[in-house]
Structure 1
Amino acid sequence: MTTSKKKSVLGDNIVSGGLNALFGQQGIDVDVDENKGDAIENLNVNFIIANPFQPRHSFDENALRELANSIKENGILQPIIVRVAKESKDKYEILAGERRWRATQLAGNETIPAVVRAYDDATMMQAAVLENLQRENLSPIEEALAYKQMMDVLHLTQVQVAKRLGKARSVVANTVRLLTLPQEVQDWIQTGELSMGQGRTLLGLHNKRQILNLAKRVMQERLTVRQVERLVNEMNENKVVSKATPQISAELKETEKALSDKLATKIAIKHNQRGAGKIEINYGSDQDLNRIINALGLDLND
């Protein structure tokens, strides 16, 4: 492998003002300090690999080509940040700057300026998520998967993830909840056919089939989040009503009416799927109760 070392010709202010401003508050040091022996190296692009914890699954090809054209004209204005790969000591893993690395390859450059650091897995994961979130390059599903990966691999709570990334806990919680949606709905959010707001609103339903059907309707009719909220509320209200007042057969309804007519009061027959149930007889006073008892032919004095 061929690398060449040189002085930090880009200047500390560029590195500090860029990546260090992005990561500094989270305690990730990416500043270049020549007094400590730091230097920018020109690394062969073929010996660099992506961050193993990269949460982004897709890159905008048009944006990469634009960046590649800029690199051809102006060069790399800010070095990427890497560490020596854990599995292969002759390669490097990117902490930050994967887009620049990919665009550099598109531009046909064989080398790229880089700062080599010693980072652990936790820092690599945190930095990969942070860079993408700050630059708004992640889809809602990629963001949710990134949070979950941090919780699973680093054994963090939602509160701890939020603190490390400078996010509100509610943001982390609501985003991770998207992963409980059916996979088809997650795919539609990933491709942008559904928005994060629409996806979060669909979480108000607890039946997978209802969620899928409503999601399809949202895409077909291009419903707003507010319209989806109204539909979810209506569906939940109808579910409550149907549970509270189960339907009875036409035959039982006729029986209910006949009893009501005979006793001159409201009668309700409640019947379950097992064939059992109960008859409720309403009365308005003690005198009304005695009347109903007499109408039933009961003699309570015996």
Structure 2
Amino acid sequence: MAKKEDGGQGAPSRLGRGLAALIGDVDTEKSALDRARGQRRVPIEFLRPNPRNPRKRFGDEDLADLAASIREKGIVQPILVRATPEDADRFEIIAGERRWRAAQRAGLHEVPVVVHKVGDREALEIAIIENVQRADLNPLEEAEGYQRLIDEFAYTQAELGDVIGKSRSHVANTLRLLKLPNPVQDMIADGSLSAGHARTLVTHDDPENLAREIIESGLNVREAEALMKRPEKTAHESAGAPDKDADTRAIEKRLSDALGLAVDLRHKSSGAGELRIRYKTLEQLDGVIERLVDK
């Protein structure tokens, strides 16, 4: 499939060259001088976020720390922008939205920018590359950014890997995360579940409940992979607990589905038993109490 053109820009195989210098990751005298020549200061209110920015989450604590640093040292690296179509004196952020947000918190009236004439495709590429290289994206945001380049600009996975400096297999494995159900994607986005853990769940029949077991049991990726090979067992059984019959596992699953939490049911030979409900926050505990106590 032929790649869509965007303002006469070249093919992606040529685009990647020089992008490292563009976003400030090549610290040479020449690149520093080039940036200095193109740098200017503009009122902070003249900038607006890029709706295509793959990064959607900006942690409050992270922004507070950066704002404190900006108050003391200023913005060390200029924000990359492009002029808006309706007003050449106002700009859309290509890369550096986190710095812009923190600068507002720090009370800055002006910010340093470097203006570039780029189209939608290259602006999205630069945003993804900058965030990936700085590890600013969570795995799900990275996957969504890759998918947008594929959907809107007809990239193959190999071409995308060349542009962002990653292997085709990395691109493919990252994109697989988008096949997971929304609750599991939420666990990835909030950091509860790593990309390595999540990739083991893609082909599982019940990825949501297995994800909860992995989190609640604190399994590493290798243990999660081992659990995948034995889907009839729970995480606690894989860790050395005795086997459970099908009826017990069915009851555990019903309770887990109802509560949204991992459940461990143990029968004793005397007919007595023990039911454990594992929670991580007081809010989860409150939810259990609301279900068990009459109002």
Indicate the residue corresponding to 1:231 in structure 2: 227
Indicate the residue corresponding to 1:248 in structure 2: none
The residue type equivalent to 2:103 in the other structure is T
Gap change, CA 1:39 and 1:226, over 3 Å in 2? closer
Shift of 1:89: 4.0
1:157 aligns with 2:153: no
- The normalised TM-score by structure 2 is 0.66
151-160 or 82-91: which moved more? 82-91
Q: Write the distance in 2 (CA, Å) between the matches of 1:169 and 1:198.
A: 20
Shift of 1:22: 5.5
Gap change, CA 1:233 and 1:107, over 3 Å in 2? same
Shift of 1:31: 6.8
Q: Write the distance in 1 (CA, Å) between the matches of 2:52 and 2:220.
A: 34
* Cα contact 1:80–1:114 (8 A) shared by 2: yes
Indicate the residue corresponding to 1:21 in structure 2: 25
* Cα contact 1:158–1:172 (8 A) shared by 2: yes
Shift of 1:196: 0.9
* Cα contact 1:51–1:128 (8 A) shared by 2: no
Alignment of 1:47-196 (within 5 A): 47-196=46-195
Shift of 1:33: 6.6
Q: Write the distance in 1 (CA, Å) between the matches of 2:87 and 2:63.
A: 27
97-106 or 70-79: which moved more? 70-79
226-235 or 182-191: which moved more? 226-235
Q: Write the distance in 1 (CA, Å) between the matches of 2:27 and 2:153.
A: 18
- The normalised TM-score by structure 1 is 0.64
Gap change, CA 1:18 and 1:88, over 3 Å in 2? closer
Provide, for residues 89-127 of structure 1, a one-character-per-residue CA deviation record: whole Å limited to 9, x for no partner: 442011222222111111111111112121111110000
Q: Secondary structure at the match of 2:80?
A: strand
1:211 aligns with 2:207: yes
Indicate the residue corresponding to 2:243 in structure 1: none
Q: What 5-or-longer segments of structure 2 have no aligned partner? A: 1-19, 234-295
195-204 or 217-226: which moved more? 217-226
Q: Secondary structure at the match of 2:123?
A: helix
* Cα contact 1:23–1:130 (8 A) shared by 2: no
Shift of 1:218: 1.4
The residue type equivalent to 1:117 in the other structure is H
1:32 is matched with which residue: 26, 30, 34? 34
Q: Write the distance in 2 (CA, Å) between the matches of 1:18 and 1:148.
A: 23
* Cα contact 1:23–1:127 (8 A) shared by 2: no
Indicate the residue corresponding to 1:283 in structure 2: none
* Cα contact 2:81–2:92 (8 A) shared by 1: yes
Q: Write the distance in 1 (CA, Å) between the matches of 2:35 and 2:188.
A: 43
The residue type equivalent to 1:220 in the other structure is E
Gap change, CA 1:158 and 1:190, over 3 Å in 2? same
1:202 aligns with 2:201: yes
Provide, for residues 243-271 of structure 1, a one-character-per-residue CA deviation record: whole Å limited to 9, x for no partner: xxxxxxxxxxxxxxxxxxxxxxxxxxxxx
Q: Write the distance in 2 (CA, Å) between the matches of 1:58 and 1:33.
A: 28
Shift of 1:23: 11
Q: Secondary structure at the match of 1:91?
A: strand
* Cα contact 1:30–1:81 (8 A) shared by 2: no
Q: Write the distance in 2 (CA, Å) between the matches of 1:154 and 1:53.
A: 13
Q: Write the distance in 1 (CA, Å) between the matches of 2:153 and 2:170.
A: 19
Shift of 1:235: 2.6
* Cα contact 1:40–1:114 (8 A) shared by 2: yes
Shift of 1:61: 2.0
1:222 is matched with which residue: 218, 232, 238? 218
Shift of 1:88: 4.6
Q: Percent identity?
A: 40
Gap change, CA 1:54 and 1:168, over 3 Å in 2? same
Q: Secondary structure at the match of 1:220?
A: helix
Q: Which has the larger Rg?
A: 1
Q: Write the distance in 2 (CA, Å) between the matches of 1:23 and 1:190.
A: 32
What CA RMSD, in Å, does the superposition of the two structures yield over aligned residues? 2.6
Report the count of equivalent residues.
212
Q: What 5-or-longer segments of structure 1 have no aligned partner? A: 1-15, 238-302
Alignment of 1:2-21 (within 5 A): 19-21=23-25
Shift of 1:30: 9.4
* Cα contact 1:204–1:232 (8 A) shared by 2: no
